[in-house]
Amino acid sequence: MKKVLIVILLALSVPCFAQHDPYMGIVPAPVSVKKGNGEFKLTAETIILADSPNHKAVRFFTEYLRKAGFSNTVTDLNQLAKGNKEMKNSITLSVNTKSDLPAEGYQLHVYDDHVVLNGKGAGLFYGMQTLIQLLQIKNNNLITIPCTNIKDYPRFGYRGMHLDVSRHFFDVDFVKKYIDVMAMYKLNTFHWHLTDDQGWRIEIKKYPKLTEIGSKRAQTKINRAGIDLELYDNTPYEGFYTQDQIREIVNYATDRFITIVPEIELPGHSMAAVASYPELSCDPKKTYKVAETWGEFKDVYCPTEETFKMMDDILFEVMLLFPGKYIHIGGDECNKTAWKNSDFCKQLIADKNLKDEEGLQSYFIRRIEQYVNSQGHSIIGWDEILEGGLAPNATVMSWRGEAGGIKAAQQNHDVIMTPGSAGMYFDHTQLKSPLEPLSIGGNAPLSKTYSYDPVPAELNKDEQKHIIGVQANLWTEYIPTPAKAEYMLLPRMLALAEVAWSPLANKDFKNFSESRIPHQLPRLDAAGYNYRVPTAIGASDTVLTGSKFNIELTTPVEGATIYYTLDGYNPRETDLKYTAPLQITVPDKMTVDFKTIVITPSGKRSVVTDMKLQNK
């Protein structure tokens, strides 16, 4: 059992640099941290006291301890005498409803003989995530928690992460793993993109062809869109979630205080549905197929009464599966060609006194919103739903920069910021380097994601209140495997978590990237996640001029090794280890290629950096 404990908790050991970190290695940075002296020792005899023993957060924590080798009992705090409510060698978990603790907030007090955690609602769960991050293993396998006093609460109520399963499908186990890492870093909304041109991924009982036909495509484009040479894998592709699987995942997320927002794309990005039911199109006699490549397609839903009836039926089943407030209806990149060529659409525009096809899209969205509202839910749409007039109660997800979000907030609509231009699109590369894997394009390094502030300066104080949150998106046109999905997600998701949770005054990229990220990545390693290994701190692809150079590097992952070469070859394990600062002298009119690579204990590798040292 002790060996199991060590395997699970090994990466939770706080390294030396975290001891000097004002945030004690915690991600996202808490609102307030006051370090104490000493430490609490967690043992098999430690008593868990809870005023709500059946609270989801309490169950989660005791299950975590059980997997780590502990079988600590939970005692109902309400059944203890007043004098016993702060017993020695105890961890007290309390659901706090005090008005001075903000929503989802918590207070954590770690003393040398007991621990007290108070949380408001989900705050108890988030406090446990912080407590877990503070666990450390000493050389004698003793599990301790450093004494501290933390008060913490989120900046935004909506803290979202998106996953596209239409372009490439990810199974139930991976979706749960995705939810797990979100929960570790206090994200609370999972935006699940379930339908698109390339695949319909959710079972709809009333319309079985949506998955019988729409969840399958004959082949998949494997090179970048827009390239003249079309390359395909000539391999059939399919996958969808049954309604039972959906319920299973919803319950799993709920237990981790994560709300799932399903996205059912309309009126565009609908080729999979139109291929299943051609009557949804403006030309039902035409033959359609599920899309095999990426981009924007001309065939979209036609705004007929038959289409609206089918959409209402589909959304009814969707809303039965997802109890959260929001249903995402897409609304983006709707090509209007089919509508412009349709006599029916021309007549409808005239009959409804609509200005043009943009007005027709607004009409479509409003019809859908009326039905969703009638069922007790609200819609979210991408910022294109502003075109032609915004639906009365819609929340806008601003992705084409911030302009749409600013406009919506000025119209008193709630907004979730997710601009691709600000590092919120995790399908973009993390480094401008040919060594990075194929992506959709764009560049979103960790620093760009981290530096984003979702509240635009253009808004006044009342308008700023409509910025209810922030989200990053993982589109999967070029992400066919779980390993690549995790590589693109991590560690950027940790930067998102800090943008969404931490107060602006506590953000410090140097501290985040050079102290807390190196501490967190081994935790992800131990939990079985792939991630992009950052390059050595102090190394980069650049040209330096001079004759003498002092090279000082720091490992970006606790326990990792930096290897380097001076001979022009790419470094690997057989090359020189960096162990101390280097002094390199370059002869006159010579260039030395100082190349580095970081290799973690588990074998993960960074890309190679090439620092050219020139003596002209």
Kindly report the three-state secondary structure assignment for every residue of 312-330: HHHHHHHHHHCCCCEEEEE
The closest of 545, 549, 555 to 596, measured between CA atoms, is 555
The one-letter amino acid code at 10 reads L
Question: Does residue 217 form part of some domain?
Answer: yes
Q: What is the pTM of this model?
A: 0.95
Predicted local distance difference test score (pLDDT) of residue 258:
98
Domain identity same for 115 and 198 = no
Q: Please, which pLDDT band fits residue 225 given cuts at 50, 70 and 90?
A: low
Q: Cα(380)–Cα(414) distance, rounded to whole angstroms? A: 9
Say if residue 298 is exposed, middle or buried (CB neighbours under 10 Å; 0-12, 13-18, 19+). middle
- Per-residue burial over 94-103, b = 16 or more CB atoms within 10 Å of its CB, e = otherwise: bbbeeeebee
Domain identity same for 174 and 142 = no
Q: Which sign does the torsion angle of CA 396, 400, 402, 406 carry?
A: negative
Domain identity same for 51 and 88 = yes
The closest of 271, 374, 260, 275 to 315, measured between CA atoms, is 374
Predicted local distance difference test score (pLDDT) of residue 17:
43
Query: Mean pLDDT, to the nearest integer, of 76-88?
Result: 74
Beta bridge mates, 136: 144
Predicted local distance difference test score (pLDDT) of residue 72:
82
Catalytic residue among 180, 255, 333, 575: 333
Predicted local distance difference test score (pLDDT) of residue 607:
96
CA dihedral 342, 348, 349, 354 (to 10 degrees): -150
Residue with the two structure tokens 């490549």: 293
Domain identity same for 120 and 196 = no
Catalytic residue among 21, 51, 104, 196: 196
Q: Which sign does the torsion angle of CA 541, 542, 546, 550 carry?
A: negative
Question: Does residue 493 form part of some domain?
Answer: yes
User: Of residues 28 and 101, which shows the higher confidence score?
Assistant: 28
The CATH code of the domain that includes 563 is: 2.60.40
Respond yes or no: is residue 498 known to be catalytic.
no
Domain identity same for 100 and 67 = yes
pLDDT of 574 higher than 50: yes
The closest of 380, 420, 386 to 402, measured between CA atoms, is 420
Least confident of 85-94, 260-269, 549-558: 85-94
Reported in sequence order, the residue ranges of 13-113 that DSSP labels E, i.e. its strands, are 32-42, 47-50, 74-76, 90-95, 106-110
Q: Cα(536)–Cα(236) distance, rounded to whole angstroms? A: 41
Query: Mean pLDDT, to the nearest integer, of 120-124?
Result: 94
Question: Does residue 514 form part of some domain?
Answer: no
* Residue percentage of the chain with pLDDT more than 90: 87
326-330 vs 561-565, strand pairing mode: unpaired
pLDDT of 1 higher than 50: no
- Residues 211/240, Cβ–Cβ less than 8 Å: yes
Predicted local distance difference test score (pLDDT) of residue 490:
98
Here the tokens at position 545 are 């001029």
Query: Mean pLDDT, to the nearest integer, of 4-16?
Result: 41
| Other beta carbons within 10 Å of 377 | 18
The CATH code of the domain that includes 223 is: 3.20.20.80
Domain identity same for 42 and 169 = no
The closest of 400, 588, 561, 485 to 181, measured between CA atoms, is 485
Domain count, the chain: 3
pLDDT of 8 higher than 70: no
Query: Mean pLDDT, to the nearest integer, of 580-607?
Result: 96
Kindly state the DSSP code that residue 12 receives in the 8-state scheme.
G
Contacts of 234 (CB under 8 A, 6+ apart): 219
Catalytic residue among 168, 191, 269, 328: 269
Q: Cα(200)–Cα(204) distance, rounded to whole angstroms? A: 10
Give the containing element (helix H, strand E) for 181.
helix 172-184
Question: Does residue 598 form part of some domain?
Answer: yes
pLDDT of 223 higher than 90: no
- Residues 280/303, Cβ–Cβ less than 8 Å: no
Mean pLDDT of the chain: 93
Among the candidates 152, 173, 200, a domain finishes at: 152
326-330 vs 378-382, strand pairing mode: parallel
- Residues 422/448, Cβ–Cβ less than 8 Å: yes
pLDDT of 18 higher than 60: no
Give me the helix-helix angle, 492-501 and 482-489, nearest 10°.
50
Q: Cα(61)–Cα(59) distance, rounded to whole angstroms? A: 6
Domain identity same for 233 and 369 = yes
pLDDT of 226 higher than 70: no
pLDDT in tens, 490-510: 999 999 999 999 999 999 999
Question: Does residue 446 form part of some domain?
Answer: no
Domain identity same for 321 and 286 = yes
Question: Does residue 372 form part of some domain?
Answer: yes
- Residues 409/397, Cβ–Cβ less than 8 Å: no
Respond yes or no: is residue 196 known to be catalytic.
yes
Predicted local distance difference test score (pLDDT) of residue 91:
95
Q: Cα(225)–Cα(478) distance, rounded to whole angstroms? A: 10
pLDDT of 5 higher than 70: no
User: Of residues 2 and 523, which shows the higher confidence score?
Assistant: 523
Among the candidates 152, 173, 199, a domain finishes at: 152
Here the tokens at position 489 are 């997600």
Domain identity same for 51 and 23 = yes
Among the candidates 100, 132, 152, a domain finishes at: 152
* Residue percentage of the chain with pLDDT more than 70: 95
Predicted local distance difference test score (pLDDT) of residue 100:
83
- Residues 30/503, Cβ–Cβ less than 8 Å: no
Predicted local distance difference test score (pLDDT) of residue 19:
59
Contacts of 171 (CB under 8 A, 6+ apart): 239
- Residues 307/364, Cβ–Cβ less than 8 Å: no
Here the tokens at position 306 are 């038959």
Query: Mean pLDDT, to the nearest integer, of 337-350?
Result: 97
| Other beta carbons within 10 Å of 614 | 15
Question: Does residue 441 form part of some domain?
Answer: no
φ and ψ of 615, to 5 deg: -115, 95
Beta bridge mates, 150: 33, 108
Reported in sequence order, the residue ranges of 283-392 that DSSP labels E, i.e. its strands, are 326-330, 378-382
Q: Please, which pLDDT band fits residue 540 given cuts at 50, 70 and 90?
A: very high
pLDDT in tens, 278-337: 999 999 999 999 999 999 999 999 999 999 999 999 999 999 999 999 999 999 999 999
Q: Cα(28)–Cα(449) distance, rounded to whole angstroms? A: 14
Predicted local distance difference test score (pLDDT) of residue 16:
44
Q: Can you give the residue range of the structural domain that contains 269?
A: 158-386+477-501
The closest of 240, 212, 223, 339 to 292, measured between CA atoms, is 223
Domain identity same for 178 and 85 = no
Question: Does residue 450 form part of some domain?
Answer: no
Respond yes or no: is residue 104 known to be catalytic.
no
The CATH code of the domain that includes 97 is: 3.30.379.10
Query: Mean pLDDT, to the nearest integer, of 377-393?
Result: 94
Beta bridge mates, 378: 326
Query: Mean pLDDT, to the nearest integer, of 27-34?
Result: 98
Terminal-to-terminal C-alpha distance of the chain: 62
pLDDT in tens, 181-193: 999 999 999 999 9
| Other beta carbons within 10 Å of 556 | 23
Kindly state the DSSP code that residue 294 receives in the 8-state scheme.
-
pLDDT of 85 higher than 60: no
Beta bridge mates, 543: 612
Domain identity same for 382 and 492 = yes
Give me the helix-helix angle, 2-9 and 517-526, nearest 10°.
140
Domain identity same for 129 and 222 = no
At residue 245's C-alpha, the angle toward residues 241 and 249, to 5°, is 110
Q: How many CA atoms lie within 13 A of 82 on its CB side?
A: 0
Query: Mean pLDDT, to the nearest integer, of 38-54?
Result: 93
